[in-house]
Amino acid sequence: MQQPTCTNLHIRTVADANRVLHAVKRGIRPMVTRRLDDDERLALRSGCVYVWEERSNNPLEVTGQEIQRFTEGRSWGPSRAREDFLLYFEKDGGNRSIVQRYGGLGSQQLIKQTYSVYVDYPKNTRKWHLNAYYTQETVDRLQTVDDIPDLRSLVVPEGAYICARAGGQRRNARMQRRTLDESTESQLQPLHPYHFDPYEPSSPSPPPLSPSPQQWSPLANAQTVLHPNGRVASPRVCRDSVDPQRQLAPLEYLQNITPSGRNPADDEMLKSFRRRL
């Protein structure tokens, strides 16, 4: 007789469902590989969870464990979306009365909770389904993954199971883009973050090829600092400007300078030397 993947378990969130799927992938929990027979259908009760793989049209993805469609011999109403799950409420009918008689549910209405994912996407397009069953009267008495040791300790890799519903795919795509952006941003950040001090003058820009004479004045690199109280402090010279090598003008600039006229007093002094000679 084929056993459910889990029994007496309530799937609360997508994270719970992914833990069960990961337990199946690692061989900790069994996968359902064929449709339920009559005895297995009668054994279905609140807390049963079944994981099964949908048959693929790609022959390269055939594993021999696929099912075309999972059936349990019951009639269900239209689906209702809740987060990434679909909920189906059992209809009244002849099949339900038989299951009530032999399944121990009495008059309780069974609810089917389904969740579908792509496994190893986009490398593969294998589609897994999780069907969980419960009733409103018994859901609070069921266990959760936190109560089961082999499920509680599982760590599910991020992105291992991509929701097959359209909304879930868009949400997973946004999460993957956000993770990629954060990873790229962290790689582009400098090893030594820049520290900005509003009272510490910054280094001057490299001089142009043909600088003006004012650029080589002692206060060429002075900066005016504005304090928080609005008072303007006196100019301060950048530390780089006190470097002797940074004060030397390029040779090209010195060669192109127009010589200034000599002071008349200097001319008179030079003439007096010539007269003595």
Backbone φ and ψ of 142, nearest 5°: -80, 155
Give the span between the Cα atoms of 95 and 102, in whole angstroms.
11
What mean pLDDT comes out for the span 137-153? 96
Beta strand segments in 9-61, E:
49-54
CA distance 52 to 24: 10
Q: Strand pairing partners for 50? A: 131
For residue 202, what are its two tokens? 């910054």
Average confidence (pLDDT) over 41-62: 87
Q: Any idea how long the chain is? A: 277
What span, in angstroms and rounded, lies between the C-alpha atoms of 183 and 160?
Answer: 18
Burial environment of residue 60 by CB neighbours within 10 A (0 to 12, 13 to 18, 19 or more): exposed
pLDDT at 59: 65
User: Is pLDDT at 219 greater than 50 in this prediction?
Assistant: no
Which carries the bigger pLDDT value, residue 126 or residue 225? Answer: 126
Residue predicted with more confidence, 100 or 111: 111
Answer yes or no: is pLDDT of 158 > 70: yes
pLDDT greater than 50 at residue 160: yes
**Is residue 225 a contact partner of residue 198, using CB atoms and an 8 Å limit?**
yes
**DSSP letter (8 states) at residue 146:** G
Residue 243, number of CB atoms within 10 A of its CB: 10
pLDDT band at 249 (very low <50, low <70, confident <90, very high): confident
DSSP per residue, 157-217 = PTTSEEE-SHHHHHHHHHHHHHHHHHHHHHHHS-SS-----TTSPPPPPPPPSS--GGGGS
Tell me which residue of 85, 88, 79 sits closest to 17, measured CA to CA: 85
Q: Which pLDDT score is estimated for 144?
A: 98
Amino acid at position 253, single letter: Y
More confident residue, 183 or 146: 146
- Spatial CB neighbours of 116, under 8 Å, sequence gap ≥ 6: 54, 127, 128, 129, 130, 163, 164, 165
Mean of pLDDT over the chain = 76
pTM of the model: 0.58
pLDDT band at 17 (very low <50, low <70, confident <90, very high): very high
Tell me which of 243 and 140 has the higher pLDDT: 140
Residue 39 phi, psi (nearest 5): -65, -40
- Mean pLDDT across 39-68: 86
Amino acid in position 188:
L
Q: Is 64 left (phi over 0), alpha (psi -120 to 50) or beta?
A: left
- The pLDDT assigned to 245 comes to 52
% of the chain at pLDDT higher than 70: 60
Q: Are strands 49-54 and 66-67 parallel, antiparallel or unpaired?
A: parallel
**155 or 243: which carries more pLDDT confidence?**
155
Lowest mean pLDDT among 19-33, 60-74, 98-112, 134-148: 98-112
Bridge partner residues of 117 (DSSP)? 128, 163
Question: What tens digit of pLDDT does each residue of 168-217 get?
Answer: 544 554 555 554 455 545 555 544 444 445 445 544 555 555 555 454 44
Answer positive or negative: Cα dihedral of 204, 206, 207, 208. negative
- What pLDDT, on a 0 to 100 scale, did the predictor assign at position 238? 44
| For residue 66, pLDDT beyond 60 | yes
Closest by CA to 8, choosing from 179, 141, 170, 206, is 141
Q: ω before 228 within 30° of 0 (cis)?
A: no
pLDDT at 137 over 50: yes
